[in-house]
Structure 1
Amino acid sequence: MFAFVAREPILDKSKHVFAYELLFRDGKAGTYPEHNIDTSKKIAEQFHGLGLDDISGEKTSFISFASDTLISRFPTSLNPESVIVELTDNPYTQTGLLEACNHIKQMGFKLAIDDPMMLSERHNLLPLIDIIKVDVTKTRFETIEKHIPKYLDSNVTLVAEQVNSQDHFATCKELGFDFFQGYFFAQPEARIVRQLPASKINIVDLMGEISSDSFDINRISQIIERDASLSYLLLKFINNPTINKRYKITSLKHALNYMGEVEIKKFIALLSLTNLSDDKPLEIVHMSLVRAKFFDLLSQRRGLKANPPIGFLVGLFSLLEGLLDQSMSDIVKQLPLSDELNNALLGKNAEFANYMVLVRAFESALWMNVIKQAKILDIEQKQLHALYNQAIIWGNGVRSAITEHYPQATVKAQ
């Protein structure tokens, strides 16, 4: 049922993920899709019944519904504790919708509505609505500042949509918004020319080793062993059930024998990324994980060489600008990466440039771009969806494994 879907993160003031808005390819304007029994069964057979927990990683899901779905075909299988119902129409403008919304509220669901221009003066609507979403690209901040008090006084939760820059996040936070939807957290806060700190030298050395065709186990062991925290995390991560369900790993050499060179390179790359920045939201690492797995699966599907796992590394490092607050051109000058990886990160490799267009299309529900890239890469659209879903599930699992070790993001004073 949920095979063809994109998700956009909604973060709180501390830049922790509160929820994901789900955008369905088969529903009008991203709404919950209307599938008949035969279609739902076919999707379940082909995609193994991808569920909401697989998509949202046990976070809350915002789902938009068309009015007729709410009135006559609202899915009773959804859980009001994990799903927020988003309205596409004002309940006071369509016959039967207000009654349906009251019924859905009685079932325990919270209701959200878009008021993109903050023009709604219907105060009698507010007791019914729990969350109001405002598109900050369509509304002047002066207008928001003028109208926002009535919402704050009504104890309504406010979500700013299309928050895609750090400046917009800071402004919306100051205005009083509670949550922020968009990819602002993946953008550099302030691009400055600076060297990576000396404390990260071990991480930098590891990144160089795993991007090489050769694999010097003794060299890598030396780098990890001179940093006690890396040694601890290595064994902790590898023995996590998400990664290793069968054997107790006691050393890097033991892991190499069990996992193989390519998988160890992927794992060390992951270990490097999670320790490269100390004050960024975990969601940017989570996005990097999904991209890494997706690019890796695409590379395999396209028959690219697997060692080093270039697709995985390009996806994993594709958001370094946001992690390090520097331009990618400045970053690659400081990291001892291979020329092939550098060129891919700088957009000079046509294959991986197509991957980047594709993953951004999935992240933002730009379905026409997915269709276009499917033709360019000669991969069926349904297969691309299946690969991306697989990457989401893998990313959710690894995220849960690293959460307790990842430093909490710090929100800088505005």
Structure 2
Amino acid sequence: MNALDRTLREILIGRQPILDLQQELVGYELLFRTPDCTDASPTAGCRSAATAGVVCSAFAELGIGAALGPYKAFINTDERFILDDALELLPPQSVVLELDFTSTPDSEVLARCRALRDRGYTLALSRYTGLDDHAGALLPLVGIVKIDVIAAGDELPALAGALTRLPLKLLAEKVETREQMAHCKSLGFHCFQGYYFAKPTVVSGRQLSASQLGIIRLINLVSREAEIPELEESFKREPGLTVNLLRLVNSVGVGFGRRIESLRQAVTVLGRRQLLRWLQLLLMASPEHATAPERNPLLQLAALRGRLMEILAGRLRPRDTHLGDQAFLCGIMSLMPAALGMPIEEILSQIAVTPDMQLALTEQSGTLGTLLALIERLDAGDWEACDALLADHPALSRETLTAALTDGLAWIHADGH
């Protein structure tokens, strides 16, 4: 096995969603953790990209590029990466090259950036902190400027304001709350990076809507294996749910190659197991995204988390399909507090789940709890915690985790969604 193959087997790939002004998914920043990055506080070399060869191989051999579907991959690049000929194997229409240079670029680097821009690559200036020689040399070449809102602090309005008149987009990174996003939006930012949309904002005394209560009734009917006529009768009382369910199963990761047009057809083609999954996802679809569930980032994240947990459960216990089913639902349920604005304990009082799932969701204990913790640590880019959890489970590895991520992304972005 050559060095590149070894690196690909041991690489960890994280991703952070990037949303637009409509709070819809436009891409992911891909974070590559290679075997030689071992420090808890990454060096500049570790913080920057893996080599161009590793990134290109991840796109091709690991299938990351295809798995992302129509969404852009934002990739961190240093001076060596930019000058590497292997970079040109990346499809210009699918990537954004984040220029994270450690010093003021020289004439060779600037010429290379200009050539890449002319070939159709989108360039982004990373970690902008003000107009200096470094930024001044690159601003005419980039289409996006990224500003770290935490590092900028009180200087954020001044930093953003100086750029709003230029023909480029402003991207706010490390956005941690919805309030921060709204503030950045008011300052003229166009895109927002982070998991702020997945953090629960619990509203005291909040009541579930009639449609949400209707979905919960259906979830409980499916869970106790009610007959199809009883399911249909329940759907008839909530015709809006039928429409939204059909939208959802036709848009998020189904990929049957033909449209599903009726409830009876959905139950027949999907089976009760899948129907239960899509009802759980439907419960999370916020009203403002009801017409486009495939672009709802919280729904995307929930579907991906469920799928990742299901795949990893299959690696742990290949013959235990029940564990896989429970893992999928556990992944979805873990994000319901963010979707519904209610504590998980209150949600669990209304939706019947197994004791194992209850413990996983409330205490992250048991096998399901371990898988949930692993996926949450991956989302947070906590590589050391990921490695520690993997070390306790010999059936899992960095390679299986990266393969699961690729499969999961391909699944949720199937058929161009």
Q: Which residue of 1 aligns with 2:236?
A: 225
Selected match of 1:290 from 299, 304, 328 = 304
Selected match of 1:278 from 276, 287, 296 = 287
Q: Which residue of 1 aligns with 2:196?
A: 184
- Hey, what's the Cα distance between the residues in 2 that align with 1:139 and 1:283? 26
Deviation at 1:397, TM superposition (A): 2.3
Q: Which residue of 2 aligns with 1:169?
A: 181
Q: Which residue of 1 aligns with 2:292?
A: none
Selected match of 1:352 from 365, 368, 377 = 368
Deviation at 1:114, TM superposition (A): 1.8
Q: State the Cα deviation string for residues 117-170 of structure 1 (Å, max 9, x = none).
A: 446365454212322111112221x21223332212333321111101112112
- Is 2:48 the partner of 1:17? no
Q: Which residue of 1 aligns with 2:71?
A: 59
Preserved CA contact (<8 Å) 1:102 1:128: yes
Q: Which residue of 1 aligns with 2:49?
A: 31
Selected match of 1:269 from 251, 271, 280 = 280
Q: Which residue of 2 aligns with 1:363?
A: 379
Q: Which residue of 1 aligns with 2:205?
A: 193
Preserved CA contact (<8 Å) 1:7 1:21: yes
Counterparts in 2 of 1:93 and 1:257: CA distance versus 1, 3 Å: closer
Q: Which residue of 2 aligns with 1:110?
A: 122
Which stretch shows the higher mean deviation, 256-265 or 69-78?
256-265
- Is 2:410 the partner of 1:393? yes
SS in 2 for 1:311: helix
Opposite residue 46 of structure 2, the aligned amino acid is K
Opposite residue 332 of structure 2, the aligned amino acid is L
Preserved CA contact (<8 Å) 2:48 2:78: no
Q: State the Cα deviation string for residues 181-211 of structure 1 (Å, max 9, x = none).
A: 001111234532212122322201122234x
Selected match of 1:50 from 63, 79, 85 = 63
Preserved CA contact (<8 Å) 2:281 2:302: no
Preserved CA contact (<8 Å) 1:91 1:98: no
Q: Which residue of 1 aligns with 2:111?
A: 99
Deviation at 1:272, TM superposition (A): 4.0
- Hey, what's the Cα distance between the residues in 2 that align with 1:204 and 1:156? 45
Selected match of 1:126 from 124, 139, 145 = 139
Preserved CA contact (<8 Å) 1:161 1:180: yes
Q: Which runs of 5+ in 2 are unaligned?
A: 35-44, 290-294
- Hey, what's the Cα distance between the residues in 1 that align with 2:336 and 2:355? 17
SS in 2 for 1:151: coil
Opposite residue 140 of structure 2, the aligned amino acid is P
Which stretch shows the higher mean deviation, 147-156 or 279-288?
147-156
Q: Which runs of 5+ in 1 are unaligned?
A: 401-414
Opposite residue 345 of structure 2, the aligned amino acid is S
SS in 2 for 1:64: strand
- Hey, what's the Cα distance between the residues in 2 that align with 1:247 and 1:19? 27
- Is 2:238 the partner of 1:215? no
SS in 2 for 1:326: coil
Opposite residue 300 of structure 2, the aligned amino acid is H
Count of aligned pairs:
389
Q: Which residue of 2 aligns with 1:6?
A: 14
Give the TM-score normalised by structure 2: 0.81
Opposite residue 279 of structure 1, the aligned amino acid is E
Deviation at 1:32, TM superposition (A): 4.4
Opposite residue 228 of structure 1, the aligned amino acid is P
Deviation at 1:321, TM superposition (A): 1.4
Selected match of 1:376 from 373, 392, 400 = 392
Preserved CA contact (<8 Å) 1:208 1:338: no
Selected match of 2:316 from 280, 299, 302 = 302
- Hey, what's the Cα distance between the residues in 2 that align with 1:368 and 1:35? 24
Opposite residue 144 of structure 1, the aligned amino acid is L
- Hey, what's the Cα distance between the residues in 2 that align with 1:239 and 1:150? 44
Preserved CA contact (<8 Å) 1:191 1:327: no
SS in 1 for 2:392: helix
SS in 2 for 1:152: coil
Opposite residue 333 of structure 2, the aligned amino acid is F
Q: Which residue of 1 aligns with 2:358?
A: 342
1:393-412 → structure 2 map (5 Å cutoff): 393-397=410-414, 400=417
Opposite residue 231 of structure 2, the aligned amino acid is I
Opposite residue 266 of structure 1, the aligned amino acid is R
Preserved CA contact (<8 Å) 2:125 2:145: yes
Deviation at 1:249, TM superposition (A): 6.6
Opposite residue 296 of structure 1, the aligned amino acid is E
Give the TM-score normalised by structure 1: 0.81
- Hey, what's the Cα distance between the residues in 1 that align with 2:266 and 2:138? 59
- Hey, what's the Cα distance between the residues in 1 that align with 2:350 and 2:415? 27
Opposite residue 216 of structure 1, the aligned amino acid is A
Deviation at 1:70, TM superposition (A): 1.2
Opposite residue 224 of structure 1, the aligned amino acid is F
Deviation at 1:220, TM superposition (A): 3.0
Preserved CA contact (<8 Å) 1:288 1:319: yes
